Amino acid sequence: MQTILLIEDEAAIADMVIYALKSEGFAAEWRRLGREGIDWLQQHPETALLILDIGLPDGNGFEFCKEIRRFSSVPIVFLTARNEEVDRIVGLEIGGDDYMGKPFSPRELTARIKAILKRSAIPMGSAVENPCVFAIDLVRCRIRYHDCWLELTRYEYQLLKTLLQQPERIFSRAQIMDMAWSEPEESLERVVDTHIKTIRAKLRQVSQEENPIKTHRGMGYSISGNVCES
Ligand code: CA
């Protein structure tokens, strides 16, 4: 379940937003103050999206946004009563993703949130800073993850290469074995899980907060992230 953080000082608005988020299947976390919200966000980098009020008792939402952008690229939707074009432009220039003027319809808010999450599922923001999450060096049989060349065993390399050659595609364990193992009949499908586990541990050593390999229950595995050949 994706968690959305709401930083909003007005309880009535917060109640309405939380209700709308929950009825759309999101988990909602509410903080009244900007400072409290930032603390929570620092402890929960997996937060899917932030809804940020502009007029907060302990500061201005635009300022909080600038501070958040120093450590997080979480999508941000501003909420404000100051529904003027100048605010809109300021908000988007300092790193906001969208903007809702109060009063707003909760349905419109959740529709926009879904659109943003869909957009940010393709890592466009990170693509600008780092165009290749993964790079495959087919000649030297090695794979780079962010800035690190991974230390992989032969099977780990074959397995990861198989997933990376078709990002987002779900491979069953049997398919992975056919493509990554030279003698698939000699191995057990369980072996795939073991190798996935060791590969995940190696990826985590490079980047704690990401988990590019997804498990699809009863179906298999897929990987996400931009891939380049090097
Ligand atoms: Ca407010």
At 145, which CATH number? 1.10.10.10
Total domain count, the chain: 2
Instruction: Give distance in angstroms: CA of 195 to centre of ligand 1.
Output: 50
Instruction: Give distance in angstroms: CA of 13 to centre of ligand 1.
Output: 9
Query: Phi and psi (nearest 5°) for 223?
Result: -130, 150
Report, in angstroms and rounded to the nearest whole number, the Rg of the chain calculated over CA atoms: 21
Same domain membership, residue 217 and residue 109: no
Among 97-106, 125-134, 148-157, the range with the most confident prediction by mean pLDDT is 148-157
Count other Cβ atoms within 10 Å, centred on residue 99: 20
Distances (CA, A) of 139 to 143, 162, 167: 11, 15, 21
Same domain membership, residue 86 and residue 171: no
The residue type of 48 is: A
Give the chain's mean pLDDT.
Answer: 85
> In the chain, how many H helices and how many E strands?
9, 13
List of residues 6+ apart from 227 with CB closer than 8 A = 132, 133, 134, 135, 136, 164, 165, 167
Same domain membership, residue 113 and residue 16: yes
pLDDT interval class at 64 (50, 70, 90): very high
Residue at which a domain ends, from 120, 151, 180 = 120
171 CB-contact burial (10 Å; exposed 0-12 / middle 13-18 / buried 19+) = buried
pLDDT interval class at 174 (50, 70, 90): confident
Instruction: Give distance in angstroms: CA of 79 to centre of ligand 1.
Output: 8
Same domain membership, residue 224 and residue 175: yes
Same domain membership, residue 115 and residue 21: yes
CA distance 77 to 109: 9
- How many CA atoms are closer than 13 Å to the CA of 160, on its beta-carbon side? 31
Residue at which a domain ends, from 120, 149, 177 = 120
Instruction: Give distance in angstroms: CA of 63 to centre of ligand 1.
Output: 14
Beta strand ranges found along 66-198 (DSSP E): 76-80, 98-101, 134-137, 142-145, 148-149
Same domain membership, residue 208 and residue 146: yes
Q: Is 43 strand, coil or helix?
A: helix
Its domain, for residue 91, covers 3-120
Same domain membership, residue 141 and residue 101: no
Same domain membership, residue 134 and residue 109: no
Instruction: Give distance in angstroms: CA of 7 to centre of ligand 1.
Output: 9
Same domain membership, residue 98 and residue 18: yes
CA distance 25 to 34: 25
Instruction: Give distance in angstroms: CA of 133 to centre of ligand 1.
Output: 38
Q: What is the pLDDT of residue 128?
A: 43
Instruction: Give distance in angstroms: CA of 99 to centre of ligand 1.
Output: 14
Same domain membership, residue 130 and residue 109: no
Same domain membership, residue 167 and residue 115: no
User: Do strands 134-137 and 142-145 pair parallel, antiparallel, or not at all (unpaired)?
Assistant: antiparallel
List of residues 6+ apart from 179 with CB closer than 8 A = 158, 162, 171
* pLDDT, tens digit (0-9, with 9 covering 90-100), for 4-41: 999 999 999 999 999 999 999 999 999 999 999 999 99
Q: State the DSSP code for 127.
A: H
Beta strand ranges found along 86-219 (DSSP E): 98-101, 134-137, 142-145, 148-149, 213-216
CATH number at residue 26: 3.40.50.2300
Instruction: Give distance in angstroms: CA of 34 to centre of ligand 1.
Output: 10
Instruction: Give distance in angstroms: CA of 104 to centre of ligand 1.
Output: 14
Same domain membership, residue 154 and residue 96: no
Q: What is the pLDDT of residue 148?
A: 87
**pLDDT tops 80 at residue 108:** yes
The residue type of 51 is: I
Instruction: Give distance in angstroms: CA of 200 to centre of ligand 1.
Output: 42
Residue at which a domain ends, from 102, 120, 138 = 120
Instruction: Give distance in angstroms: CA of 44 to centre of ligand 1.
Output: 23
